[in-house]
Chains A and B, each alone.
Chain A
Amino acid sequence: MLSRVADNLYWLARYLERAENLARLVEVNASLMLDLPKELAPGWQPLITITGAQDLFNERARDTSERAVVRFVVADEKNPGSMVASLACAREIARTIRDILPREVWEQVNELHLYVNEHAAEAISKRTRHAFLRHVTRGVQTITGMLEGIVNEGPALWFMAIGRSIERADMTSRFVDVRAVGMLPVHGSPLRPFATIQWMSVLRSLSAYHMYRLKTRQRVYPAGVVSFLLADDDFPRACVCSLRRAEEVLARLPNSARLLRRLSRVRRAISRTRFETLSPEALHGFIDRLQRALARTDDDVARTYFRGELTLARRGATQAQSAG
């Protein structure tokens, strides 16, 4: 497979996954705003922090009102991390690899892109928001399902799986960082009575509430949620589970030994951590290191498969071949 095609598949999956995560993020923040008393409500600023686009937001918007934030995160074409921009990129990429993707997949990506372009304004109005966001989440899940259902096992599927896993691990860790670190219980804080609602919302934002209950058989409590989202082996959006999927797939690709070693080191570091004992600062530091490790993994994947230079080693190999 051509490196450029693999690169495109990897990013196609990342952009689609990002669009889905943004839809979840907006949805849950909106419902949290309804559940909490005004003085305790987190407002809309956390969405900007999670997406890591503070500087651009400051340029593009005047305040952190609901309207401004949702517009920026969902509908602003000039924000490369927005939903419309992610889907526009996904659509452009899908177009360049139409010969690799089944037609249904291309059509679904195309339709979703067109839908979001036409209907993005519906995310801003409270009345229409839910239906819009659900359409996006389902649209991406339809594509993910199609890929599972009708694409041959092979590099195309694998590179998409790696992209999806890394994006998931990255986004989940951001959710935990921003929503959890700020909410870790501080003794005597008036947050206490509403803490459960907030932690439930963190789980719900990742569709993890039900699975959390099934798996842990425990009530919702801070360290339990953090540990579930970061370190669970079986929940598909948990960091450890996502990374393990990436490892499984990488093991089937050539030249992956070094990448696999690094990735499993990161995964084991998460699994070993006892989150109950971490202070908010320590947790933040931990997630910071995790995100840097994920960025390095992204870079490693690119260097191994997408951007290799035509080197002396390659020429050596040609000579050896012709000599042999």
Chain B
Amino acid sequence: MAISWHDYPAEPHFDELIGPGGVPREGARAVARHLEQLGSQELAVRQKAAEAAVKGMGITFTVYHEAGGSIDRSWPLDVIPRVIDAKEWRGIEAGLRQRAMALNKFIDDIYHDQRIVRDGIFPLEYLADSVNFRKQCVGISPPLGVWAHVCGSDLVRGGDGTMYVLEDNLRVPSGVSYMLENRQVIKRVFPELFEENTILPVDDYPSQLYDMLRAIAPPGVERPEVVVLTPGIYNSAYFEHAYLAQQMGCELVEGRDLAVDEEDFVFMRTIDGWSKVDVIYRRIDDLFLDPEAFRADSTLGVPGLMRAWRAGKVALANAPGAGVADDKLVYTFVPAMIKYYLGEEAILPNVPSFLCADPKQREYVLANLANLVVKPTNESGGYGMLMGPKSTEAERKEFAGLVRGNPRNYIAQPVVQISTTPTLIDDHLEPRHVDLRPFILSGADVQVTTGGLTRVAMRKGSLVVNSSQGGGSKDTWIVDGTS
């Protein structure tokens, strides 16, 4: 069946591919025309091919089973790409770079002089209550002054077409391997589109990551040994840990493979004996990193690792304590931070937010729960939220209690009418809501992935894009229409 964009129900949301009147947007014209010509039956064939490729390449993610075990599932990928015009992307990229620089300056400041607090921009009491502030990190100066080496920021486009930052993930953000693998699959499925269009490549990421990791090695180490530290196969992002290690040509280690000696050097256990490690790309949360410094019951970590890091004998990416800025309350201060540290206006706006910690704003939130999204400040993955418009009276009552009991722990935002993009549902295209997670690498310089991982809520009307809750993904194309 042929596709006609005039019949595609893009309204009432902002659609990424199709503008008002069924006219494709800037940068998307060639793609839209091509999809039209292919028709929906052929698209369904390509979807099957993509699913077979995902299975064959072993691209999986782990879902925890209720029974206690975990299962490996094939990664869900919708073949219809999400397209962004290169001109627009350059602006977004600049905004993300600016943001990562300000966030790193903030973290470094917080663990040193706290100028931003003394200058009255960021209130001290918010810091005191932060669950991700690590007193063990105070006074430490990691190489290059960088703490959040890898940042994954979630972007959503509102009904007016504006791209907003929804949150910044500065602890152990995941998803980049799927961005890379999605591209591999889609290249196989739509080779003709890649020939005809200038779709900017994404595959530099593993080498950029590796270069960044080498750049943060302790001074004086000429050929640093870089490893990826994973919690193990039961972690939902294990596929990614193994993938990145393999792509960078590094060892994938677990905590039990490492040990710290009395001179604070870190070693990994190999069949030739113990071998020194200089840089650790860790994908284990702070609190599990080192039972000597944090949770004593952690079996995932390495006793003495914090000692080695503090002594400057090993580099950790991301640095412990970087999560202090990965907090939705701190998030509301990012535009102010950009101004304070960089003297610039924020290029990418935040979603307008209300701080429940502030009595006046709290009263507004409590009076308008039915129209707001209430989020805990320290959760990720969409857990523990209240979606006001879809909530019941009982849920709102429960949340009012939660907010009053611990106001520091909540912020509220108006519901963003997030944008949609055409998605293959059975044998035809329907609009589905999408977000975008680009990744920002900070080392000697700051680099942004070309596009990022687009996640899509596969259920009609749903805004939940998490793969653990029925979300899918798309390849993200930054299309240069000028060449």
List residues of chain A with CB within 8 A of the CB of B263.
Answer: 315, 318
- Judge whether A141 is part of the interface by a CB distance below 8 angstroms: no
- Judge whether A204 is part of the interface by a CB distance below 8 angstroms: no
Cβ contact within 8 Å between B58 and A99: no
Cβ contact within 8 Å between B271 and A6: yes
List residues of chain A with CB within 8 A of the CB of B256.
Answer: 4
CB of B389 to closest CB in A, whole Å: 42
Interface SS majority for chain A: helix
Q: CA of A116 to CA of B267 in the docked complex: distance in angstroms?
A: 40
Query: Which residues from 231 to 256 on chain B have a C-beta closer than 8 Å to any C-beta of chain A?
Result: 232-233, 242, 245-246, 251-254, 256
Known contacts A98-B242, A310-B261; A155 and B232 CB within 8 A of each other? no
B269 partner, pick from A106, A253, A308, beta carbons under 8 A = A308
- Judge whether B265 is part of the interface by a CB distance below 8 angstroms: yes
Cβ contact within 8 Å between B267 and A314: yes
- Judge whether B274 is part of the interface by a CB distance below 8 angstroms: yes
Cβ contact within 8 Å between B58 and A318: no
- Judge whether A96 is part of the interface by a CB distance below 8 angstroms: yes
CB of A63 to closest CB in B, whole Å: 31
A314 partner, pick from B72, B242, B261, beta carbons under 8 A = B261
- Judge whether B257 is part of the interface by a CB distance below 8 angstroms: yes
Query: Which residues from 4 to 44 on chain A have a C-beta closer than 8 Å to any C-beta of chain B?
Result: 4, 6
Query: Which residues from 286 to 319 on chain A have a C-beta closer than 8 Å to any C-beta of chain B?
Result: 305-306, 308, 310, 314-315, 318
Cβ contact within 8 Å between A310 and B233: no
Q: Chain B interface: which size bin?
A: 20 to 34
Q: CA of A2 to CA of B274 in the docked complex: distance in angstroms?
A: 9
Interface SS majority for chain B: mixed
Cβ contact within 8 Å between B72 and A95: yes
B262 partner, pick from A4, A99, A254, A315, beta carbons under 8 A = A315
- Judge whether A122 is part of the interface by a CB distance below 8 angstroms: no
- Judge whether B272 is part of the interface by a CB distance below 8 angstroms: yes
Cβ contact within 8 Å between A106 and B58: yes
Q: CA of A253 to CA of B272 in the docked complex: distance in angstroms?
A: 8
List residues of chain B with CB within 8 A of the CB of A96.
Answer: 232-233
List residues of chain B with CB within 8 A of the CB of A92.
Answer: 233
List residues of chain B with CB within 8 A of the CB of A2.
Answer: 251, 253, 257, 268-271
Cβ contact within 8 Å between A99 and B257: no
Cβ contact within 8 Å between A310 and B259: yes
Q: CA of A235 to CA of B180 in the docked complex: distance in angstroms?
A: 48
CB of A10 to closest CB in B, whole Å: 10
Cβ contact within 8 Å between A254 and B259: no
- Judge whether A217 is part of the interface by a CB distance below 8 angstroms: no
- Judge whether B68 is part of the interface by a CB distance below 8 angstroms: no
CB of A296 to closest CB in B, whole Å: 19
B273 partner, pick from A106, A314, A315, beta carbons under 8 A = A314
- Judge whether A65 is part of the interface by a CB distance below 8 angstroms: no
Cβ contact within 8 Å between A1 and B271: yes
Cβ contact within 8 Å between B271 and A254: yes
CB of B229 to closest CB in A, whole Å: 12
List residues of chain A with CB within 8 A of the CB of B272.
Answer: 254-255
CB of A141 to closest CB in B, whole Å: 23
Known contacts A98-B58, A99-B242, A106-B58; A308 and B252 CB within 8 A of each other? no
Cβ contact within 8 Å between B268 and A314: no
List residues of chain A with CB within 8 A of the CB of B254.
Answer: 4
Q: Closest chain B residue to A98 by CB distance?
A: B242
Query: Which residues from 61 to 99 on chain B have a C-beta closer than 8 Å to any C-beta of chain A?
Result: 72
In the complex, per-residue mask of A79-100: 1 if CB is within 8 Å of any chain B CB, else 0: 0000000000000100110110
Query: Which residues from 309 to 364 on chain B have a C-beta closer than 8 Å to any C-beta of chain A?
Result: none
List residues of chain B with CB within 8 A of the CB of A315.
Answer: 261-263
Q: Closest chain A residue to B58 by CB distance?
A: A103
Most chain A C-beta atoms within 10 Å of own C-beta, residue among B261, B263, B267, B269: B269
List residues of chain B with CB within 8 A of the CB of A99.
Answer: 242, 245-246, 252
A253 partner, pick from B232, B245, B265, B271, beta carbons under 8 A = B271
- Judge whether A125 is part of the interface by a CB distance below 8 angstroms: no
CB of A152 to closest CB in B, whole Å: 15
Cβ contact within 8 Å between A314 and B246: no
Cβ contact within 8 Å between B267 and A3: no
A4 partner, pick from B265, B269, B274, beta carbons under 8 A = B269
Cβ contact within 8 Å between B265 and A318: yes
List residues of chain A with CB within 8 A of the CB of B246.
Answer: 99
Known contacts A4-B254, A98-B58, A106-B58; A155 and B72 CB within 8 A of each other? no
Q: CA of A1 to CA of B254 in the docked complex: distance in angstroms?
A: 13
Known contacts A2-B251, A2-B269, A315-B261; A310 and B274 CB within 8 A of each other? yes
List residues of chain B with CB within 8 A of the CB of A310.
Answer: 259, 261, 267, 269, 274
In the complex, per-residue mask of A94-124: 1 if CB is within 8 Å of any chain B CB, else 0: 0110110001001000000000000000000
Q: CA of A4 to CA of B254 in the docked complex: distance in angstroms?
A: 9
Cβ contact within 8 Å between A305 and B271: yes
Known contacts A99-B246, A310-B274; A3 and B257 CB within 8 A of each other? yes
List residues of chain B with CB within 8 A of the CB of A103.
Answer: 58
List residues of chain A with CB within 8 A of the CB of B242.
Answer: 98-99
Known contacts A2-B251, A103-B58; A155 and B271 CB within 8 A of each other? yes
- What would be 25 A-B contacts, judged by CB atoms less than 8 Å apart? A2-B257, A2-B269, A2-B271, A3-B257, A4-B253, A4-B254, A4-B257, A6-B271, A95-B233, A96-B233, A98-B242, A99-B242, A99-B245, A99-B246, A99-B252, A155-B271, A159-B271, A254-B272, A255-B272, A310-B259, A310-B269, A314-B273, A318-B261, A318-B263, A318-B276
Chain A to chain B: the 5 pairs with minimum beta-carbon distance, closest first: A3-B269, A310-B259, A99-B246, A305-B271, A96-B233
List residues of chain A with CB under 8 Å of any chain B CB: 1-4, 6, 92, 95-96, 98-99, 103, 106, 155, 159, 253-255, 305-306, 308, 310, 314-315, 318
